[in-house]
Amino acid sequence: MNEGKTIFSQVMDHIPLHEFRKCVHKYNGDHRVRNFSCLDQFLSMAFAQLTYRESLRDIEACLNAQQTKLYHMGIRANISKSTLADTNETRNWKIYADFAQVLIGIARPLYANDEFGVELEQTVYALDATLIDLCLSVFPWARFRKKKGAVKLHTLLDLRGSIPTFISITDGKVHDVNVLDELILEIGSVYIMDRGYMDFERLYRITTTPAFFVTRAKSNMSCKRIEARDVDKTVGLIYDQTILLENFYAKKDYPDKLRRIKFHNTETEKILVFLTNNFSLPALTIAQIYKCRWKVELFFKWIKQHLRIKNFYGTSQNAVKTQIWIAISVYVLVAIMKKRLHLEESLYKILQVLSVTIFEKMPVQKAFPVDDGKTSKNEACNQLNLFNC
């Protein structure tokens, strides 16, 4: 007797299948495929992400143990280690990269009204990159150092909801600043970056968009002060200045005025100097905006801890990128489900519950019982939580 859909099927119901098929068709993903389609591959790999499978053999054993439920989970083909390995090696990773962008486009409006710590009407993005270490002897194509392999994950994070809006996976040697050439800038938006993105030619491109940036100034930056504004030193502000660059090449790359703000962080006892092209926001707001940059670092730590992007099921570049993009898709898919079903739990708790109830046939909401007050509110305070409500 059919008792309803499995939890896994209910999560995957949030996939826009027509958009997925467009991505597959664009790269001829199912051309001459008889048994194991791109959708079968995506669902199998999504299952691996949600249940923390360690290997292809692990995926095969777990799914085949639930053979009678596979059809209702949307998986139409038989699962085998060799088939999964072949598809991860040969199917174009761009299929899943494009589909991740589709999911991101669905998720962003759902989180558009979320707060992120600073009251601003503009969209605020944090840009950063992280290394994913790889064993050079197993992944020889990913040479980073003499005896070390790595790929670099460049991410532009929308701070309203911690949704990644732009992701680029590159060789570990690619410098962070190069990703600024790939960004499609939004008029009026604010981009937060650390000192690794200090390139005045590229920053001037943000100014001429026009958009805004907030970054930290380098200690050896040569400039001339042309104006100083009064600041409230009781809140940690030291000065708020308008400057012009003096170095010949820097002045050539960025001929306009810049705003320099010096701030004393009483929490860390550090002196920070910020550089921005925004002259309208209060100086303290600029400092608060930069403080929100930690969210992109939290995002990196979170996905490395809770998604399978450190141990890989394949060794080729295509297999690695496929796994990373499907992991990002699962992350965004669960974020979409959380909003649509009005789940109050953190994303961490949702993923933990899904991992042990994935084959259960019950409404997803029933897997998250209402807190009766007996559970400590800080039960998972040591975990890296995103999407806390």
- The DSSP result for 315-326, as a single string, is -SHHHHHHHHHH
CA distance 27 to 29: 5
Burial of 310 (0-12, 13-18, 19+ CB in 10 A): exposed
Segment holding 18, helix H or strand E: helix 17-26
CA angle at 313 for the pair 158 and 94, rounded to the nearest 5° = 50
The pairing of strands 223-229 and 143-145 is unpaired
Q: Which stretches does DSSP call E strand in the chain?
A: 124-134, 143-145, 148-158, 163-171, 190-192, 212-216, 223-229, 237-245, 258-265, 270-276
Q: Are 136 and 117 in contact (CB under 8 A)?
A: no
Read off the DSSP letter of residue 189: -
In a domain, 214, yes or no: yes
Instruction: Count how many domains the chain has.
Output: 1
The reply to whether 233 falls in a domain is yes
As a whole number of angstroms, the distance between CA 316 and CA 92 comes to 12
- Any idea how long the chain is? 389
Give average pLDDT by consecutive 10-residue segment, the chain, 389 residues.
Answer: 78 95 95 90 95 93 90 87 94 96 94 84 93 92 91 94 91 94 94 94 96 94 94 94 95 96 91 96 94 91 88 94 96 94 89 91 85 48 49
The strand pair at 212-216 and 190-192 is best described as parallel
Is 223 a domain residue?
Answer: yes
Give residue 126's pLDDT: 95
260 occurs within a structural domain? yes
The answer to whether residue 276 is domain-embedded is yes
pLDDT score for 3: 62
At residue 204, the pLDDT reads: 97
Cis peptide before 363 (omega within 30 of 0): no
Question: Is 234 inside any structural domain?
Answer: yes
C-beta atoms surrounding 194 within 10 Å: 17
pLDDT number for residue 371: 58
Burial of 273 (0-12, 13-18, 19+ CB in 10 A): middle
Within-domain flag for 246: yes
Element containing residue 40 per DSSP (H, E): helix 38-51
Domain span at residue 208 reads 194-282
